[in-house]
Amino acid sequence: MFSNIIRSEQRHGGDTVTVTDPRTLTELWPVPMATENDLDEAVQAAREAFPIWKARPLEDRQQCLHRMADELETRQDELRPILAKESGRSDVLAKIEIDDALRKQRLYFSFSLSLSVEYEDESVRIVFTYPPLGVVGAICPWNFPLVLEVGKGLAALVMGNCVIVKPSPMTPYATLKFVEYTLDIRVLQALNESNEVGARMTTHPDIDKISFTGSTATGRRIAESAGRSLKRVTLELGGNDASIVCADIDVNEVAARVAQGCFFHAGQMCVATKRVYVHRDVLPQFRSAFIAAVQKIVIDRAAEHSPLFSPLQNRMQYQIVQDFLADSAKQVHTFSVGGPERDGKPLPGLYISPTVVDRPPDNARIVQEEQFGPVIPILEWSDEAELIRRVNATESGLGACVWALDVATAERIARQLEVGTVWLNSFANPHPHGYFSGWKQSGIGGEWGRQGLLS
């Protein structure tokens, strides 16, 4: 049984919808749809709780969140199959997300202990503090619903805000269950949205901030709506992340790791690699090793052979990726692996075969736009200045990876990329060599770590 959570109560009434398991195309469980009246009541409850919550000492708020983390850890065996079914993931991938959510929850407790900055000289003493904003609306996406709810909701809570979570209508179940586990903490509520409720959150006069992760088109509409009441916004939008492979790398090792970074969860990750630029001197060897790694991915409903690969989570995204494939076929691009599905045994569910497009032109749609699926172009480079120009010639700049044995070379390239974060010799996981945060973000603001807490 799934429910909206308002005033620390489970609300089951009203119209219900169901979500389809993308692995089997079977319907899952009914879940109620919140109304605008539900939203108004949730906002009123949050406003009433806010003065008391923000006045509590930081240590008390942290202890509440510790209890939330403990409850998630205790009940993860119950939550994991729910998360796996709604997202189409294997049990392995669902466990990875829950473990990541737990790790990030516990990181907030240490980060939040030193959020005052004091400066003192002979004549003046200045203390910088960070007061809470009020009521935060957390609008979450479908690709990693639990982790991204933690990144938005718990960061806002530990800083003294009250939070209303709106999970994606594609993946409502795990988020609603997580909030249900914390009914005794009255400052977190959850509403399974209708389109009207989602739009109303961005204009509601008593919501002080919107944090949104999703498409650039939706982000623009949210920014416009929120701007009418001067709400603060954090918008993490599209990313078309590049992996840059230099000539001095261990070809076999790096090709396998880049392939994992491209096809993990079928590329449905904001900071997954979407374009691979390989130095001309190693391109033939790298391409062979990369293709060999991709060909090891086996599609099966049980996900026993390739547990890190998934179907597309929803029919809309499935069609978007099919459109990319059709466009590349129309442009007569070379498919090294995969491509538009051939006649024969159909794939199960919403799976699309892992696909590699060999050296399409830079102006191709598969290079310029984020596919958010298992279709990857491999491109060639030789001149560093030209490479930087090509990599930066896209509208979005969320992240990138640089692979080079020579750290100085990796750092020099990384500092020229117009993206939010660059990983060196790693993908979406800080390496001992470190990472750089650049000036160009894909959206507005940022989340995670100290920056997420301050925002």
**Catalytic residues, which ones?**
236
Structure tokens that stand for 94 in this block: 């669902």
- Return the number of other C-beta atoms located less than 10 Å from residue 29's C-beta: 14
Secondary structure (3-state) at 353: coil
In the block, tokens 């718990």 appear at 154
Cα 239 to Cα 423: distance, rounded to the nearest angstrom: 15
Q: Which of 187, 190, 374 lies closest to 265, judged by CA?
A: 374
H/E segment holding residue 306: none
Cα 80 to Cα 94: distance, rounded to the nearest angstrom: 6
User: Are 175 and 147 within 8 A, CB to CB?
Assistant: no
Strands 275-279 and 4-6: unpaired
Strands 9-11 and 16-20: unpaired
Cα 405 to Cα 422: distance, rounded to the nearest angstrom: 16
Cα 259 from chain centroid (whole Å): 19
H/E segment holding residue 302: none
| CA distance readout (Å), 235 to 222, 443, 446 | 9, 5, 8
Cα 11 to Cα 131: distance, rounded to the nearest angstrom: 32
Cα 113 to Cα 344: distance, rounded to the nearest angstrom: 59
Give me the count of residues in the chain.
455
